[in-house]
Amino acid sequence: DHTLSLTVNHMTRTLLLHVPSNNTAIHRALLLVYHGATDTAQSTEHMTDFTQVADRTGEVVAYLQGVNNHWNEQAGQNNGSQANDVAYTSAVIKLLGGLIHFDHNRIVAVGFSNGALMVQDLGCKLARQFSLIVPVEGELAAASSPGCAPARPIRVYEIHGTADSEIYYNGGPIGGHGTVVLSAPRSASRWAQLDHCSRTPTTSYSGSSVKLTTYSK
């Protein structure tokens, strides 16, 4: 692993980079990971298995670090951070593009909770740079939805749990942060609308607890 730093809008920012030693293919994907509120890039690497999977399948993984351990996702859950995290993300992609080989058509952003809200914002504003966003436990913010205007259709894979006690599956305010999110079904259908997908989804089930709703072009 490598700790990298860069300056964005006069602020020094950092990230933790994992480059699998057994894969130098230029067609490998780049995965950008956004931690949850109060968390860190380092602990997120330890809590997930992205590094272990990447060692088998070859992706480059960058664990990004938010200011004050939060992301300024333009929805209110930022702990006072005024950092421009969209600019930070673009700068990270540019930095890594000058250091290592990866497929610029296979850049993915995945985030948890506050990081998921950040990933939603990136989908709205940096769609040309990403092939896929994966928000986990963080729907599209109600304040962001009307103005969300991705420059091109983007793949979206949302993962939400009905028992989340902080960011509710059925949407509404996030406790104490002034942030309001859409419900999980409404968030998915909004992205389907933005991506010009069919208005009618297909639904399948995995066991008794997982429901998969798919909107296709």
Residue 204 DSSP SS3: strand
pLDDT tens-digit profile of 12-39?
999 999 999 876 677 899 999 999 999 9
Specify whether the CB–CB gap between 167 and 137 falls below 8 A.
yes
pLDDT, tens digit, for every residue of 94-144? 999 999 999 999 999 999 999 999 999 999 999 999 999 999 999 999 999
Rounded Cα–Cα distance for residues 85 and 65 (Å): 10
CB neighbour class for 78 (10 Å; exposed up to 12, middle 13-18, buried from 19): buried
Residue 154 is given by DSSP the state -
Pairing of strands 210-214, 202-206: antiparallel
Q: Both ends of the chain: CA-CA distance in Å? A: 38
Query: Model pTM?
Result: 0.95
pLDDT tens, residue by residue, 148-195? 999 999 999 999 999 999 999 999 998 766 789 999 999 999 999 999
